[in-house]
Amino acid sequence: SAVISQKPSRDICQRGTSLTIQCQVDSQVTMMFWYRQQPGQSLTLIATANQGSEATYESGFVIDKFPISRPNLTFSTLTVSNMSPEDSSIYLCSVGGQIGSYEQYFGPGTRLTVT
Amino acid sequence: QKEVEQDPGPLSVPEGAIVSLNCTYSNSAFQYFMWYRQYSRKGPELLMYTYSSGNKEDGRFTAQVDKSSKYISLFIRDSQPSDSATYLCAMKYSGAGSYQLTFGKGTKLSVIP
């Protein structure tokens, strides 16, 4: 499995500001995913980030709020824009396994608190 | 009805006990089933994955899938305090291009020494 790191590990931000979360993988991967994990809730997929193309967003998530970059096969960023307290959550980067497999591996997460 | 239901617990057992964790699902299109373990303040760690109905064993862990009942289980034998974590079930539709995992809410397990 890939080794995934995320920065920052946690942050406390004021409402109305934006935070960019970085995800770095130790090997080239085709598929990268961004999830949100709110207290007491299931992990929810925000978007799928493919290198060289626009990210694909799930229902309820929009690019203006969660812009994503995928400049190469080992790196991606997720920005949480114009934050409100409802955005307080853990944000997780995930990568797919071997091509044709369905395994996904997760980074350690970024714990965001919006005040 | 949510697509995946998982009892959030918390579940507390003595060390050495057999633990049974379960999820039910409503959509028969789910074909791949996974269990993740998540320690506090860490990301989910893939424990086991299965495709077909039946059992799959890995050390002290056994994953069981019953597609006819839409029910999956994870059994932990000889539970250890280090097994204390939140266990998440996850499922995926089959088919190329289908990458989204649907998760249960997770069951918090505590194994008491």
> In A, residues 4-63, which contact B (CB 8 Å cutoff)?
4, 31, 33, 40-45, 48, 58
Q: Determine the pLDDT at residue A103.
A: 78
Sign of CA dihedral B98, A88, B48, A98: positive
Work out the pLDDT band at B52, boundaries 50, 70, 90.
confident
Residue B42: list chain A partners with CB under 8 A: 108-109
Question: What is d(CA B52, CA B66) in angstroms, rounded to the nearest whole number?
Answer: 9
Q: Determine the pLDDT at residue B97.
A: 59
How close does chain B come to A114, measured CA to CA in Å?
18
Q: Does B36 touch chain A (CB under 8 A)?
A: yes
What is the tens place of the pLDDT at every residue in A69-89?
999 999 999 999 999 999 999
Strand, helix or coil at A113? strand
Q: Does B44 touch chain A (CB under 8 A)?
A: yes
Q: Determine the pLDDT at residue B100.
A: 79
Work out the pLDDT band at A35, boundaries 50, 70, 90.
very high
Q: Determine the pLDDT at residue B98.
A: 64
How close does chain B come to A36, measured CA to CA in Å?
11
C-alpha pair distances (Å), A114 with each of A10, A16, A19, A56: 11, 9, 10, 25
